[in-house]
Structure 1
Amino acid sequence: MLAVFEKAIGNPPEELGLPLVGFDCKKTREEISETFRLLWPESTFYHLSNGNFMTLSHDEAQSPLHQRSMFVTDGIFCIFIRTLVNICELRRHYGLSRQATEAMLMVDAYKVLRDRAPYPPDQVIKDLQGKFAFVLFDAKSNTLFVARDREGSVELKWGMAGDGSLVLSDDPNTIQEACGKIRG
């Protein structure tokens, strides 16, 4: 999984922009996209406005522990990694069908947060039980919603591209190569 957003949407901390002594490999969004395409040519790419993008690789060797889903509707894009142990309860809570994936659930939870209730984002996150990470982007409002479980069970690293863009990935090597420095 890889998601790259311009600085206006996702503003990385300043310390990620400081140069590393003898190590300067920060790439632009375009270079990061091209590298990812070469490594995972079967990936699904979603090109968003202003050169932003989200992509999900389809690795045939994925184990059930590294389950991934992506859902797109009404200009809302969500990549969800791993699983929720209380998904049945959450489906009932949000009125979703039994076939709803974790990514579908997160989009619905986000819509509730955005449209119907004055809940802070942590209200939705605290109801999620399991080992997970997700990246959700609302293209209409340029809103980015990123989270992972409390224990940090799923790697979700982030860094800063050469043009100041925020780079998110579940693969630390991708972030290291693209950004030089990583956080997570």
Structure 2
Amino acid sequence: MLAVFAKAIGKPPEELSLPTIGSNSSKNPVEILDKFQSLWPHDSAVYNLPHGNFMALSHQDQSPIHPRSIVVLDDIFCIFVGTLENIADLRHYYGLQRQATEAMIVVEAYKALRDRAPYPPDQVVKELDGKFAFIIFDVKTNTLFLARDREGSVNFQWGVAKDGSLVCSDDPKIIRDGCGKSCAPFPPGCIFINGSGLTSFDHPLNKVKGIAEEDEGGNIMSVYFKVDLFTRIPSIPRTGSAANWADPTEVKGE
């Protein structure tokens, strides 16, 4: 899968752009898409979105236990990779038919969150039991919503293209070719919303920090993200938040 969103829409974390010293290998979105289509010339679908954004999907070489799917419902585009183990319960909860796929369920969960739900987005993702990563883009509101399961079971990476666009893919080769060093694994157990940033859905009141790794010369070579359980985000107290106080835990993934 591949998704690219212009900088003004994607609002990528600043830390993703740090590892740029000595690296001019990043590409623009058109070049990244050309690379994607050259890898799978006979099995790729591209969905062009407003403002030059796009999402693309190929089923070639997908893992049988982590299948890829895409759905478009009510101007909401969703790419889902993986499976949900509690899919029957979720269909019942959201009033969906037995034919509803994981991608359809995630879109319905997002719509409930956007339109009706009185609880924050981390609670919605916590209800998803499985091995997954997904990308949602709401055309009507220009909302981007990314998530990865807490185990990091599905390969999911993000990076920054030459023009500052946010690039997301489950293929490390696409990310490295398109973003150079300006990329990182999307942190397991986290969600990203372009209006509010990166959040851990197990520790929603604690900041997720980008950590730079330097070489001997002080050049930033890579970045990864971890939950800082000593730094709490100012917020209205929520029931059950006491469980968030614990020893620092890294959320690395490949």
TM-score range (shorter-chain normalised) is: over 0.9
**Correspondence for 1:52:** 53
> Which runs of 5 or more structure 1 residues have no equivalent in the other structure?
none
Question: Following superposition of structure 1 onto structure 2, how do residues 24-173 of structure 1 map, counting pairs within 5 Å?
Answer: 24-41=24-41, 42-59=43-60, 61-173=61-173
Give me the whole-angstrom Cα distance separating, in 1, the residues matched to 2:136 and 2:109: 11
Q: Larger relative CO (CA 8 A, sep 6+): 1 or 2?
A: 1
Per-residue deviation, 1:21: 4.3
Per-residue deviation, 1:16: 2.6
Per-residue deviation, 1:157: 0.2
The amino acid across from 2:94 in the alignment is Y
Deviations 1:127-174 (A, max 9, x none): 011110000000110000100101111111000000000000001111
Larger Rg computed on CA atoms: 2
**Correspondence for 2:9:** 9
Question: Contact 2:44 / 2:59 at 8 angstroms: preserved in 1?
Answer: yes
Give me the whole-angstrom Cα distance separating, in 1, the residues matched to 2:13 and 2:115: 29
Question: Contact 2:3 / 2:56 at 8 angstroms: preserved in 1?
Answer: yes
Give me the whole-angstrom Cα distance separating, in 2, the residues matched to 1:131 and 1:95: 22
The amino acid across from 2:138 in the alignment is D
Give me the whole-angstrom Cα distance separating, in 2, the residues matched to 1:29 and 1:58: 21
| Sequence identity (%) | 64
Give me the whole-angstrom Cα distance separating, in 2, the residues matched to 1:24 and 1:86: 44
The size of the alignment, in residue pairs, is: 183
| Change beyond 3 A, Cα 1:19–1:93 | closer
**Correspondence for 2:229:** none
Task: Judging by fraction of residues, say which structure has more strand.
Answer: 2
Per-residue deviation, 1:74: 1.4
Choose 13-22 or 165-174, whichever is displaced more: 13-22
> Which runs of 5 or more structure 2 residues have no equivalent in the other structure?
186-254
Question: Contact 2:35 / 2:174 at 8 angstroms: preserved in 1?
Answer: no
Give me the whole-angstrom Cα distance separating, in 2, the residues matched to 1:99 and 1:16: 38
Following TM superposition, the consecutive aligned residue runs of length 4 or more in structure 1 with deviations greater than 3 angstroms are 18-22
Question: Contact 2:77 / 2:138 at 8 angstroms: preserved in 1?
Answer: yes
Under a length normalisation based on structure 2, what TM-score does the superposition of the two structures give? 0.69
Question: Contact 2:5 / 2:166 at 8 angstroms: preserved in 1?
Answer: yes
Q: For 2:8, what is the secondary structure of its paired residue?
A: coil
Task: Judging by fraction of residues, say which structure has more helix.
Answer: 1
Give me the whole-angstrom Cα distance separating, in 1, the residues matched to 2:22 and 2:8: 29
